[in-house]
């Protein structure tokens, strides 16, 4: 990428660490405020989690992953080597605090509290996202066709009834479909789904990687500077001019620093004295460039915990949750297992030229992102931990970060997303 430098020679108003979709959205929002911005990333042209997601704008996902009863159900999944959940047992000691907090998030009172906080973000997503899409030229590949959540059994459908009721109370628009209506909605599906939920406000984009490129191109046109390097820690000794220290020993100073490095953010927070429970929830998918069938919208297979999305580059079948840390090699048998499920429920789908992928979802145990100023360093702002909702909440996070950068009172209170909730 052109215009990259080892480090900047003058101090920007804002240094954004991380060039995924959240970091770029933060940079875009800061530039729109008239601030000068430098973005640092280890590899601007390299693969990243923002490139391989399912493409969904999942504004209906206003309840945490840790639904009541899931912790014990997940224990059973661990004994299926290619089931929806996998855990590298070598990773257990370091991940144990995360899992204990995950279980606590399913407490009914805490579950409701988290849901209200998620809805506060999701219910404003399109207000923030559409201006970004219009500005970067992404509206032509933005599809507002809803989505379909499917159930094979009456038992599973009824088990989720309370969650659907809560979602409706939080502003989610849905309508239940019977078996015939499901088939009419998506004829390519196998005729095995007894129930469906049509999600009115879900949408999807045509190519997540292309979107990241479009935002990156636009922020560069707006004047952002790019610096390539791995940030190892932050130095906030001088609160008026904090700086990021690179692996090479060089440093980049700015008046304010935004940490948006996804699953790699915990060590940077720790370097200024802030504790966070953050893990990589590794997700897998396979993109089928010549699928031979058609879907109109994203389809969520509720009982099997995977999705299929009709992207402009083919149908993408993805899902799974694997906890193995940031360094373990991908296990693409998980992509194979998801594709096998896809073939079962989408008869006739073709896998010629299939492309497998694995990415690191930055997951907090309570499913809430970390957005807000550091309690330890007033010049550091956090924007990470979005889990499955990075694309969905990127523009909203950018707008909230911009409020903080210019000391403007936000219409969305940020207390629920503060990193301070992880202090013990």
pLDDT in tens, 192-247: 999 999 999 999 999 999 999 999 999 999 999 999 999 999 999 998 899 999 99
Confidence bin at 85 (pLDDT 50/70/90) = confident
pTM for the complete prediction?
0.95
Looking at the fold, whether 304 and 410 belong to one and the same domain comes out as no
pLDDT > 70? residue 56: yes
Looking at the fold, whether 300 and 412 belong to one and the same domain comes out as no
Residue with tokens 């080892």: 6
pLDDT of residue 406: 98
pLDDT of residue 81: 66
Q: Which of 325, 352, 256 is nearest to 30 (CA)?
A: 256
| Whole-number Å distance between alpha carbons of 161 and 139 | 34
Residue 78 within a domain? yes
Which of 331, 363, 395 corresponds to the end of one domain?
363
pLDDT of residue 71: 65
pLDDT tens profile 292-333: 999 999 999 999 999 999 999 999 999 989 999 999 999 999
Looking at the fold, whether 87 and 172 belong to one and the same domain comes out as yes
Confidence bin at 4 (pLDDT 50/70/90) = very low
Average pLDDT score over residue span 24-31: 98
pLDDT of residue 147: 98
Q: What is the CATH number of the domain that holds 72?
A: 3.30.9.10
Looking at the fold, whether 375 and 314 belong to one and the same domain comes out as no
Question: Over the chain, what is the mean pLDDT?
Answer: 94
Cα torsion through 407, 413, 419, 424, rounded to 10: 130
Looking at the fold, whether 303 and 245 belong to one and the same domain comes out as no
Structure token pair of residue 48: 């990243």
Q: What share of the chain in percent tops pLDDT 70?
A: 96
Residue 352 within a domain? yes
Task: Give the number of other CB atoms < 10 A from CB of residue 112.
Answer: 15
Q: Are 404 and 26 spatial neighbours (Cβ–Cβ below 8 Å)?
A: no
Residue span of the structural domain in which 152 resides: 65-106+144-201+278-363
Q: Are 300 and 150 spatial neighbours (Cβ–Cβ below 8 Å)?
A: yes
pLDDT > 50? residue 5: no
Residue positions counted in the chain? 424
Looking at the fold, whether 287 and 230 belong to one and the same domain comes out as no
pLDDT > 50? residue 23: yes
Which of 319, 345, 363 corresponds to the end of one domain?
363
pLDDT of residue 9: 58
Average pLDDT score over residue span 22-41: 98
Structure token pair of residue 76: 């059973």
pLDDT > 90? residue 26: yes
């Amino acid at each position: 990428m052109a215009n990259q430098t080892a480090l900047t020679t003058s101090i920007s108003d804002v240094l954004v660490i991380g060039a995924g979709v959240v970091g770029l959205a933060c940079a875009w929002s800061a530039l729109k405020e008239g601030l000068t911005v430098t973005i640092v990333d280890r590899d601007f042209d390299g693969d990243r989690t923002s490139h391989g997601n399912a493409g969904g704008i999942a504004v209906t996902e206003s309840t945490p992953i840790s639904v009541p009863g899931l912790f014990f159900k997940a224990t059973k999944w661990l004994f299926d080597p290619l089931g929806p959940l996998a855990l590298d047992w070598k990773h257990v000691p370091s991940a144990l605090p995360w899992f204990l907090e995950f279980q606590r998030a399913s407490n009914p009172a805490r579950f409701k509290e988290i849901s209200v906080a998620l809805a506060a973000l999701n219910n404003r997503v399109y207000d923030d996202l559409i201006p970004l899409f219009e500005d970067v030229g992404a509206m032509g590949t933005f599809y507002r066709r809803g989505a379909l959540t499917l159930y094979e059994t009456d038992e599973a459908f009824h088990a989720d009834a309370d969650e659907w009721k809560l979602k409706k109370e939080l502003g989610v628009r849905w309508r239940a479909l019977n078996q015939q209506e499901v088939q009419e909605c998506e004829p390519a599906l196998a005729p095995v789904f007894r129930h469906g939920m049509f999600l009115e406000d879900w949408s999807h984009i045509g190519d997540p990687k292309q979107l990241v490129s479009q935002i990156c191109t636009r922020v560069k046109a707006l004047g952002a500077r790019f610096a390539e390097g791995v940030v190892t820690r932050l130095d906030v000794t001088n609160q008026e001019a904090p700086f990021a220290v690179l692996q090479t020993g060089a440093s980049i100073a700015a008046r304010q620093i935004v940490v948006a490095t996804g699953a790699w953010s915990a060590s940077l927070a720790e370097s200024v004295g802030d504790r966070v429970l953050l893990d990589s929830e590794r997700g897998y998918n396979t993109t089928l460039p010549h699928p031979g069938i058609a879907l109109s919208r994203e389809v969520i297979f509720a009982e099997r915990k995977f999705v299929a999305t009709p992207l402009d580059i083919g149908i993408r079948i993805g899902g799974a949750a694997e906890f193995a840390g940031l360094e373990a090699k991908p296990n693409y048998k998980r992509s194979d297992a998801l594709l096998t499920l896809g073939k079962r429920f989408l008869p006739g789908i073709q896998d010629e030229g299939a492309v497998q992928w694995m990415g690191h979802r930055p997951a907090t145990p309570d499913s809430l992102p970390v957005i807000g100023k550091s309690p330890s360093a007033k010049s550091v702002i956090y924007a990470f931990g979005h889990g499955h909702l990075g694309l969905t909440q990127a523009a909203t996070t950018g707008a909230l970060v911009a409020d903080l950068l210019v000391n403007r009172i936000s219409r969305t209170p940020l207390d629920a997303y503060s990193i301070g909730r992880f202090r013990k």
